[in-house]
Structure 1
Amino acid sequence: MAEARLKELGAIHAYMDTDSVFVPPDKAQELAEFFQPLNPYNMDIPLLKPEKKDLWFYGIASKRYALYYYENGKIKFMEDERSYKLHGLGHLTNPFPNSVEDWQAEIWQDILKLHYRLITERDIEEKYSNLYAISQLTVSTSIVLSRFKKLNERKPWKEQIKPFNFFLVSFQVIIEDDKAVKPLAPFTKDYQKIVYEPFIDYDSGEVKEGSQYFKPLSRTILHYVEHMENKFDGDIGVLKRKHIQAEGLVYIGKEANNIEDQPLDVIGAQVFVNEEEIKQKILGLTPEEARKLGVKHRSTLKRMKDRIMKDGKISLDTKEVKKLLNRILT
């Protein structure tokens, strides 16, 4: 409704949330008055009211924006509250060795300076190239704890990594044996220190070492700036809503048994399949169709079908079933 009303007034909004909308200052009061008849109270309380004025808005994508003052080439954030979002950055630990208190503000300052061409991408690379993107997580599942088995060997109990301890994780930049190396390391307050010490690879459990396995913070920042807004068409300026045509149904969400493992798998979102639909598709496969989907042996397909017919169940974690899932769902 707010978007439609602004169009009638010959204006546009910069950003909209569930309870707020960023509009040109000269349209703010008029928009608030338009919604006032919807006030559900028996007293005259403003349903919407102008709060922040004369601020610039810089938006990258949903939940990735900053409100700021810009005058004479100087960028300044609001003093009474944080006026930049940490979505996409909030998972990172403080990378600065001198413990810069508001380090996210410094990164946002550099993002805005890059926008105004006060600095270049090379400046970003030089400033952050020796710092790395590292997150802090909790050992909250037995799977994660088992990855530290080698590091725990021959250590006294008090020095071992235990359930619900913190640990540090970085983000994959190198592929080895067709798998991304995901560095895990014991917790330390000197976060950047783990880059130069042995770590555990999450997938293989092997002990590795080397800064080449860690993602430079400069790359994280530049990728952050280039993040696309998937719900709209366009790259810059006023974007247009995308027209969406549903071609299938895939279950996704946060309510999952393995949700704690998701931060370690930053390649893609967790997907929940419709098991009944998968079983019916497997039952309908011919040996030739199954072979094209990666299941080479007729006997393997027969075992799958026999189990479905007998028990009404199918294990989604076996190698052959995963092959079918990857092809059926794509």
Structure 2
Amino acid sequence: MKARHLMLSLAVAASALAASADINIVLSNPADTRVNITSVPIAEYAKGRNAVQTVVNDSLDIRGRGSFKTPDFNAVNFLSIGDGRETFYTAPGDKVTVSISSTEPLQLRLSGTPLIDGMQEIEDWLTPVVERYKAVVNDSTLSEARKEEKITGIMAAYDKVLTDFITANPSTPTAAYAVTAIQDEETTVQMFKLLSGGALTSIVYPLAERSNRSAESRLEAEARQKALESGDAPAPDFILPSLDGKQVALSSFRGKWVILDFWGSWCIWCIKGFPALKEAYAKYDGKVEVIGIDCGDSEDAWKTAVAKYKLPWVHLYNAASDNSVDKVYGVQGFPTKMIVSPEGKIVDITTGEDPAFFDRLEKFVNQ
């Protein structure tokens, strides 16, 4: 009875607020609660975080109920209460109700527009899948291999909820949102092609386009990397500037084993891997050359990081572009290390920080 009374109270309060405000907050907790909303234009956000120039921040101390003005642009809204976060999307003038039943942990329901109602419906379907995922991640009795196997199955179930929705509702605004939530790249591309009607005019369609472009790029990168790691293909030659401004070509290192280390100063795991890489560099002095290829940094940040971490090997600056070296090599994550044979062929590609990389390096060098 208490739960039913609570939901009824929230519904009545939401109904009373809907006529007078744009984003209505309804709290079951009578205590003062700080609610923060940060809004950015979808058009800017869809181009990447670095493209965001317009940011609107608003905060309220709410007891029971309160309201925010809907931004005057198509917006991605990030609502936060304490450590809890929720994301939703609005067009100018949209009426949205956020009914919050708990703040720690944050538990809420969104309603008010066809897009948001559809998103809430999908979230309800996904909740049991997410709970299964959490249970597996936190299960200390499972081996890593078994855990990975279970997670793979859970992610397939997660994507099936989304693909079923899109297949049944391809012309709804929420179908565009569902595309952005799919985890598998091939599925993302397939489902994006199904969008039609209202999905194409949905305020979140630019985000679906971004997800599709990203998925296509990743699939292309996977294909390039798979071709390169066969051991038969030569490592694509490149010329990049070094710390002193000289142009350095990969082909100039022919005759030596070479480690290509794709990294960035912003990458924590790249930095954590430096001590082991330094050990290998010293161990194989004269036999193995390391070429650090910086990605995603400004030139100043790159040079500062090389000096800060005292990295003794060759360093090259890889400026972002459509034909940057990391894209040519199909790099999908950082750090990525590639072993190039003295004949100039790639014999190993490792993404992430993996100690076994150095075991494989030893076998290649000593073969």
Does TM-score exceed 0.5, indicating one fold?
no
Give the alignment's TM-score, normalised by structure 2: 0.24
TM-score by length of 1: 0.26
Q: Which has the higher contact order (CA 8 A, sep 6+)?
A: 2
Higher strand share: 2
Bigger proportion of residues as helix: 2
